[in-house]
Each structure stands twice: as C-alpha cells, then as structure tokens.
Amino acid sequence: MKILEIEGLTKYYGSTRVLNNISFNIEDGEIVGLVGPNGAGKTTTIKAIASLIFYNAGTINICGYNLAKEREKALAKISSIIESPAFYGNLSGIEHLNFIKDLRKVSKTSLDNIIEFIELKDALKKKVRKYSLGMKQRLALGMALLSGPKLLILDEPTNGLDPSGILDLREFLIKTAREQKLSILISSHNLEELDKLCDRTVFIKKGEIISELKHEEVLDYEEYCFATDKADAIGDVLSKLPYVIHHSINTNVVYVQIAKNQLGELITVLLQNNMKFTNLQFVKATMEHKYKELYSEVLCNERIS
Ligand code: ATP
C-alpha cells in the first residue's frame, strides 16, 4: 500500500522555482532517504508534505487522502520532526508526553508502549533542560510516534548526535519501521547513515529528482584502487572505457568505479596497453560514491569556488 504519493510537486518562492515536478512514492513500512546538496529542495519538499508551506502545483496524497482537499485526515496520518523540535525546558519528559496524549486523545496503553519504546526510563521525570541531545531526540520521536502515524518525516535527525547517539537512533528507526509498519522519509547529508538505514533513496538536485534507487541499486558497481607509475596514461585509457563510471587519481594511486563484473575486461585492456599496476584492491561501494557520481558537477563547482 502506498503511504505517500507525490505527483508533479512544484513550488515557487517569488519568481524562483525551487521544486520542479517532483514525483515519488513511499510504501508501507519503507524507509526512504531524501538526498541532495545544500539548496536542492529537500526541506521545501518535506515542508510541503507536512503542510507547513503552500505549493503551486502537484498533488500530495497521504494514505489515500489528498492533502489539499482532505487536509485534516491526511495530516492525522503523519508526524514530523523538522528543524529543532521545541521543548519546554522546565517541563519533564513525561509532562511533554502527557501533553501530546491529551491533545491527540491517545490511550494510556499507547502512552505506556511509547514510554517503553523510547527507553528514557527514570530520565522521563527529569526536566527537559537537563537532557542531552540524544535524550531530546528520543523524546521528540516518542512525541511524534504517540499519535500512531503511518508516516514519520525527519529532517536531518542525526545533526549534533555523537556516534553512539546516531547508532541508537538508527536502531530505533529500523525497529520502529519494521515492528510498527511505519514508513519513514528522512532527509540527511549523512550519507553513511542513509546507506545503513534506507530501503530506497531519492536524489534531488536544483529542485528536480535526478535519480531514485533501491538500496541494492545504490551499490550497483564495484570500486577498485591500484598503484601504478603510469597514472596519467591510465587515466586517459579509463576515460574512454564505456563501463568505467568514474575514476580519480591521487599521485600514483588510481581509484576506478566500474560496472559490475567488468574487472576482467579492465585488466585485459590495461595489460594490452602495457600498463603495469600493483596492489589491486577492492574498495567498498557506498552511497558516498554514488553521490559523487550523481553530483560530480556540483562537487566540482564547490572545489572551484
Ligand atoms: P539544505 O541542505 O541546505 O538544508 P535543502 O535541500 O533543504 O538545503 P531548501 O531549504 O529546500 O534546500 O531550499 C531550496 C531552495 O529554496 C534554496 O534555493 C533556498 O534558498 C530556497 N528557499 C528556501 N526557503 C525559502 C524562503 N522562505 N524564501 C525564499 N527562498 C527559499
């Protein structure tokens, strides 16, 4: 079942078009990453789904409810944590949860389940101003999950978290998505994290979707590195081979990304051209490599400016 359906979403700020014909879906229980450089349109997309901004064209359906026509029903199905969640420092964690429980008319049983789930235990009685960032994240997630949403929207949730906080959050999100069949849309610059978390990733650039890949498709190539004293000449050869996706040279070390199962072909070509190399090693394929491939022009401009 489709939890989120976005079709042709377009948004202007003044005369500037910041989203152009954005379309993608999220299935039940799916974790989807939204990735792109600064200013690509991630937050604008997320704010449009959470109905925090108006959009100029397109449709957004949440659990089959049209956001423009059945706003309340659609919004009842989602929770979002966008930018820093606001807390009342002088209230305790449990007071925050009780506030949402009363506001959203949530049952005591659901509250107890969430309390158990966020594992804040005794800390729930403490005032929130004494919480660490990680504890605040857990509380924010508890508050967001209390109303039993079908879609959770998170904007840069790992910002400011230490490595163990990031690990906790990842485990928490995967557990919630799998156990409660919750769909999650997560915008982040933390590619390594998205690599580990997402079932699918939507890549956005200058307000347009440039690629949409399942987890296994993100890693659809192989990367190798090797040492050589003919790096520049090898670079010239590599740039002409159709199965070479990307290559870079660092003094006498060549990094090359190739389509799957083409290593034998590559070695044959190098040897035929009398290009000797040593220390051939497999480098793990990651989302970061895919990002470099998709946004090479953006990265290049960043380096120049
Ligand atoms: P980042 O990774 O930096 O958070 P992003 O992908 O979330 O970037 P958005 O915040 O969605 O990007 O911004 C998309 C474009 O819309 C940018 O060019 C930005 O300058 C512009 N923009 C965002 N908010 C406004 C606003 N309130 N008024 C005018 N332009 C805006």
- The pTM of this model reads 0.80
- 15 in ligand 1 pocket by Cβ < 6 Å? no
Q: If you search the block for the tokens 């959770």, which residue do you land on?
A: 152
Q: Are residues 142 and 257 in the same domain?
A: no
Q: Are residues 242 and 263 in the same domain?
A: yes
- CB under 8 A, 24+ apart: contacts of 257-260: 257/221, 257/222, 257/223, 257/285, 257/289, 257/293, 258/221, 258/222, 258/223, 258/224, 259/220, 259/221, 259/222, 260/220, 260/221, 260/222
In 3-state terms, the chain is what percent helix, strand and coil (to 5)?
Answer: 40, 30, 30
Q: Are residues 9 and 84 in the same domain?
A: yes
Per-residue pLDDT in tens (0 to 9) along the chain, 305 residues: 899 999 999 999 999 999 999 999 999 999 999 999 999 999 999 999 999 999 999 999 999 999 999 999 999 999 998 877 778 989 999 999 999 899 888 888 889 888 887 888 889 999 999 998 888 888 998 899 888 899 999 998 887 777 887 888 888 888 888 888 899 999 988 888 888 889 999 999 999 999 998 887 777 778 899 999 988 899 999 999 999 988 888 888 999 988 888 999 999 999 999 998 999 998 877 778 778 778 876 555 554 44
303 domain-assigned: no
DSSP-assigned letters across all residues of 90-145: TSBHHHHHHHHHHHTT--HHHHHHHHHHHT-GGGGGSBGGG--HHHHHHHHHHHHH
- 136 in ligand 1 pocket by Cβ < 6 Å? no
CA of 44 to the centre of ligand 1 (A): 6
CA of 10 to the centre of ligand 1 (A): 13
Q: Are residues 163 and 86 in the same domain?
A: yes
Q: Are residues 184 and 96 in the same domain?
A: yes
Tokens of 166: 């990031």
- 142 in ligand 1 pocket by Cβ < 6 Å? no
